[in-house]
Amino acid sequence: MEQRIILNLPADEATLHELKVGQMIYINGTIYTARDQAHMRMIKELNEGVALPISLLNAAIYYCGPSPKQPGKIVGAIGPTTSSRMDKLTLPLLEKGMKIMIGKGKRSQEIIEGIKKYKAVYLSAIGGAGALYANCIKSFETAGYEDLMAEAIYKLEVENFPAVVAVDTEGNSIF
Amino acid sequence: MRIVHVNQIKDKVKEICLEIAYKINDDLKEALEAGEKSESSQLGKDVLCMLLENADVAQNQDIPICQDTGMVMVFLEIGQDITIEGGFIGDAVNQGVREAYEVGYLRKSIVDPITRINTKDNTPAIINYELVPGDKLKLSILLKGFGSENMGKVKMLTPSEGAPGIIEFVLDTVKNAGGNPCPPLVIGIGIGGAMDKAAAMAKKALFRPIGERSQDAFLKELEENLLKQINELNIGPMGFGGTTTALEVFAEKYPTHLAGLPVAVNINCHALRRKTIEL
């Protein structure tokens, strides 16, 4: 078997630059969930000058709304959601230093340009593999916007979390 | 006159929701396995392998297959010789959904369309009632995730566009969806009727067992033709490229008005969570 490509977070610019479109990689470290409603609220707070519940500097954001956790488990099913819904909500976060986005499906040309400009990467997780991803989560806690339920921001410690490099730092896209 | 108590219906709705959120059907599993064997791209094979592993983990470790446990789509075919007692059947269906999503730790995804405020119990379900002859009650349930539902389309073609127009519309819809609806897909197509009828047929078509062709000669050929052409689009598993873009295409038709040709495409992700029972 080919040797696995591991991405330890937080990663520096050079490490992200080594990731090439089409590679299957395995992530270790801290990532935060945020989807439609959390993005909208973060942008509203940025515009109002309110401090966000998380720091976006070098952050990895996972477009995901997990299912509820059962007693005795760390987390419920936790696969990716469709990224294109976040296209109109992404540039302000890139400007604040977000470096990694994880979701599924294609991104707009505007976001691909943004990824190049800010030397970020977009990773596609395996959609519909929510149970498999549950086993990659080592800790799970609410980091903000708890009232949004499944759409809240959760802080995750992940191990061997598989994803495919979908848009690399040079703007090459798999889609 | 046969009597069916609403509690029987409520219990069945609950039981089915809980079962299908955690366990994929055999027909789907076999289709994924066949896809993994025939897939041309290595990355595509890896993805299909992970999806099969996901199904095992879900079933064995009691984790939902996908975190989007869906909006509950219910099709009820009610024999006209049945009397339903104990309350309103729609309330019973919603109560079954409510209980399943609570005890099953399923995600509650239903919100007001404008305020986006969550109903907190995954109700209401979308219930289609059909009155049929006889004294049986057929209950079909589909847990529909919206990654795929969002990619569906309805188009009112003109009669002269005919079969080539239908094919073009379906291929465009699938191409435009790309990796968003989590391919490999199962695709339902409704042809004819009116706008709403075409859409309902497209969704209901998803209940047919994978591998079962339409009895209608034209639809059978259309299904085979579309499946082949869709798998030549090089979308592949999760949109990463490859030959396994759709596992199945089901088409249904209904007479329409002489001035129209409505066509609906309902796209389902690889996690086709559905079951039909008879009461």
ipTM value for the complex: 0.94
Considering the domain architecture, whether residues B168 and B117 belong to the same structural domain is answered as: no
Residue of B nearest to A64 (CA): B67
pLDDT of the residue at B221: 98
Is B46 within the bounds of a domain? no
In a domain, B38, yes or no: no
Residues 6+ apart with CB under 8 A from A115: A94, A107, A121, A122, A167, A169, A171
Q: Is the pLDDT of residue A116 over 60?
A: yes
If asked whether residues B135 and B161 sit together in one domain, one would say: no
Cβ-based contacts of B62 with chain A (< 8 Å): 70
State the average pLDDT over residues A10-21: 96
B36 at interface of A, judged by CB pairs closer than 8 A = no
Chain A residues in contact with B47 (beta carbon < 8 A) = 126
Q: Is the dihedral of CA B71, B22, A78, B243 positive or negative?
A: negative
- Asked if the Cβ–Cβ distance from A127 to B269 is below 8 Å, we say yes
Split chain B (279 residues) into runs of 10 and give each run's mean pLDDT.
95 98 96 97 97 97 96 98 97 98 97 95 98 97 97 98 98 97 98 98 98 98 98 98 98 98 98 97
Last residue of a domain, one of B87, B114, B144: B144
Q: Which residues of B19-39 are buried (b: 16+ CB within 10 A; e: fewer)?
A: ebbbbbbebbbebbeebbeeb
* Yes or no: domain A5-12+20-167 corresponds to CATH 3.20.130.10: yes
Contacts of B41 in chain A (CB under 8 A): none
Indicate if B140 and B181 belong to the same structural domain: no
Kindly report the backbone phi and psi dihedral angles of residue B95, in degrees, each rounded to the nearest multiple of 5, phi listed first: -65, -40
| Residue B57 within any structural domain of the chain | no
Instruction: Determine the residue among B108, B238, B273 to mutate to test chain A binding: the one whose Cβ has the most chain A Cβ atoms within 10 Å.
Output: B238
Residues B208 and B131 in one domain: no
Domain with residue B131: its CATH number is 3.30.2320
Q: Is residue A1's pLDDT more than 70? A: no
Residues of chain A in Cβ contact (below 8 Å) with chain B: 22, 24, 37, 64-70, 73, 76-79, 81-82, 84, 104-106, 124, 126-132, 134-135, 149-150, 162, 164, 174-175
For chain A, give the number of residues: 175
A134–B57: do the CB atoms touch at under 8 Å?
A: yes
Q: Which of B105, B121, B144 is the last residue of a domain?
A: B144
Query: What is the Cα gyration radius of chain B?
Result: 19
- Using the Cβ of B191 and the Cβ atoms of chain A, whether some distance falls under 8 Å is answered with no
Residues B164 and B178 in one domain: yes
- Residue that finishes a domain, picked among B93, B119, B144: B144
Q: What is the span of the domain harbouring residue B83?
A: 2-23+65-144
pLDDT digits over A52-101, tens only? Answer: 999 999 999 999 999 999 999 999 999 999 999 999 999 999 999 999 99
Does the pTM surpass 0.90? The reply is: yes
Do B8 and B113 fall into the same domain? yes
Q: Are B106 and B78 part of one and the same domain?
A: yes
Q: What is the spatial distance between Cα B48 and Cα A126, in angstroms, rounded to a whole number?
A: 10
In eight-state DSSP terms, residue B273 is: E
Residues from chain A contacting residue B120 (CB–CB below 8 Å): 149
Domain ranges of chain A: 5-12+20-167
Per-residue confidence (pLDDT) for residue A2, from 0 to 100: 63
- B253 and B184 in one domain? yes
Same-domain check for residues B180 and B271: yes
**Catalytic site residue A39?**
yes
The count of CB pairs under 8 A between chains A and B is 135
Number of domains in chain B: 2
Give pLDDT, residue A4. 92
Is residue B122 domain-shared with residue B179, that is, in the same domain? Answer: no
- For residue A159, what is the enclosing H or E element? strand A153-167
Least Cα separation, residue B80 to chain A (angstroms): 39
Helix (H) or strand (E) holding B94: helix B89-103
What is the distance between the alpha carbons of residues B29 and B260, in angstroms, rounded to a whole number? 38
Does B251 lie in the same domain as B118?
Answer: no
Identity of the residue in B54, B106, B147 whose CB atom sits nearest the CB atom of A67: B106
According to the model, what pLDDT value does residue B1 have? 82
B262, part of any domain: yes
* CA atoms of B113 and B133, how far apart (whole Å): 36
A135 has a pLDDT exceeding 60: yes
**Is the domain of B218 the same as that of B166?**
yes
In a domain, B47, yes or no: no
CB contact under 8 A, B63 and A124: no
For residue A141, the model assigns a pLDDT of: 96
Amino acid identity at B75:
F
Structure-block tokens of residue A39: 């993005």
Burial of B240 (0-12, 13-18, 19+ CB in 10 A): buried
